[in-house]
A and B are shown apart, each in its own frame.
Chain A
Amino acid sequence: MEWNFLAVLRDFDLLMLGLLNTLKVTGLALLFGVPLGLALALSRLSTFRILSGIAGFIVEFFRTTPPLVQLFWFFFALPILIDVRMTPLIAAVVTFSIQSSAFFAEIFRGGILSIDKGQWEGAKAIGMTYGQCQRRIILPQAIKRMIPAFMERSIELLKTTTLVSTVAYTDLMFQANELAQKTFRPLEVYTIVAAIYFVLIFLFSQFSIAVEHRLAKSGEGTVR
């Protein structure tokens, strides 16, 4: 067995293109997933039974079904159900936005519930409405506590995006498959790709650990 990285390095730009697309899917899923998660969390906390019931069902459904099944459903089934032209990118962004929003919703809910009841009462006493209190008092404190769990979830999302390669979106994983077939060097290709993911995710998680320590110093515990 001899390692030969030359063939891989020659087509390294293919992998970099894939990496860019991986980051693009992750970024778009975060962009839509976070606000959707907040909406789901607020709905689930609502005293209006039907709303909280529906939000609870969505969250539990997307948390208990495998992301790959969801991706296949949105890619192969949805275009038949409603008349849309589905591309791998749209399917990926839709799937991972909703999937991660279910997890973000639970982080938001945990954060909001962790805020002392006295804060609500204080805000109410000085005449704030529910919306004002949520926006000015509760969420700013809750979000600070949620940051570590939030970053951990984003890292999970980045890892989950590898699934888009199965519906032929040209992310890093897909490019690796292509390159492995083209160069007949699967060992080198997949090892390099694993290393790229490792470096990327390791840096993100080190950053998140640093932020967590910083938050711990300022007296904000972490909410899991």
Chain B
Amino acid sequence: MSTRVDPNLLIDLQDYGAVGAEKCFNCGTCTAMCPLTSDEHPFPRNMIRLAQVGAKEQLLASTDPWLCYYCGDCASTCPKEAEPGETMMALRRWLTAQYDPTGLSAKLYTSETAVIKTIVRIGLIVLVLFIGYHALTGFHNIVTNSVQLNTFAPVMLVWALVLLHGSMLFYRMIAGVFKMSRHVLAPVTMGNKVPLRIYLETLPVYITAFATQRRWRDCHGDDEEKHDDGRWFKHFLLVTGYVTMLVLILGFLWWFQTDAFYPLWHPQRWLGYYATIVLIYTSSEILIGRWRKTEQLHRFSQPTDWLFPTFILTGAVTGIFVHIFRYAGWAWPTYIIYVIHVMAMVAMLDTEVGVGKWAHLFYRPLAMYLEAIKAKVREEQLVPDFAPTGTD
């Protein structure tokens, strides 16, 4: 079987943050240091090698970048300062861009101006929508003697727009998911369809991986000095906060965005408080880490690495201020901060879902899911329809 090589691949990857891949002399220290490698997935050296020789197809078919959680053991022991972990990080960005059907991801990852332009454009669109809505209603819906948020922004209308926007983004995400699945499964299925049964049987892999990010806890291996579940736990907290908010807004916005005043024990309040506290704490923690650069994984931050935690922090802070101003009875501040909140959140979703850092939420568990499917297909030896081994 012939392999098409892309001689510019390494240069392209440098735009995505592969800062030292060209220095690698393939000694294998990184792979032997990594506590997450296995016989089937001996990364990161294999990935760097594929990048060096321009084997684009093999990289697209590989899930290895998503199996790495960047503990940094490879980087600290690399004899060439080739930054293997950073190459894995760059590959995750590059793969996200490759899976993204719209091409937006590639632009955001390779150009800072594109990031700023996109955010400003989306923010302005939201602002225009607000102004347009109130112009059409003759500005009668802006009640200023008391806080009437659901009059300023009728919740059912907002919810409908959220769901519409969400489904568009979901479509973009799913298109990426399909593209990734196609690439990853192709070497095993050889053009055949995997039976639905196998998809269903292996589904628990996806669910556990998504919910727990359990694999991460093996980082640093049995090195007790370095082993630290703290990073995993903080991320886990972040996920719980994020998912809580996602569910509240997508499923229960009609209940969550309200003009009513609830007692403190009411779930509308404490769910919101929990998510806000967790999101503010974890996102600031990430931002401070990136700023201080004390940890291996924080030494080479790309603009897009700052973006997602900054958005989360902005969303949580503006969100809680909407709440505070509303309870304080300040109409204008509530409305203004609400508009800012929506502008920021729409900009975040447009520049993140399926195209930015956010995408790892889907792709990481998906990688493990697809590997489970591949293993199952091989295990059941669905020959002659399926090739027994693949080239990954």
The finding on whether chains A and B are genuine partners in a shared complex, rather than unrelated, reads no
Q: Which residues of A contact B (CB under 8 A)?
A: none
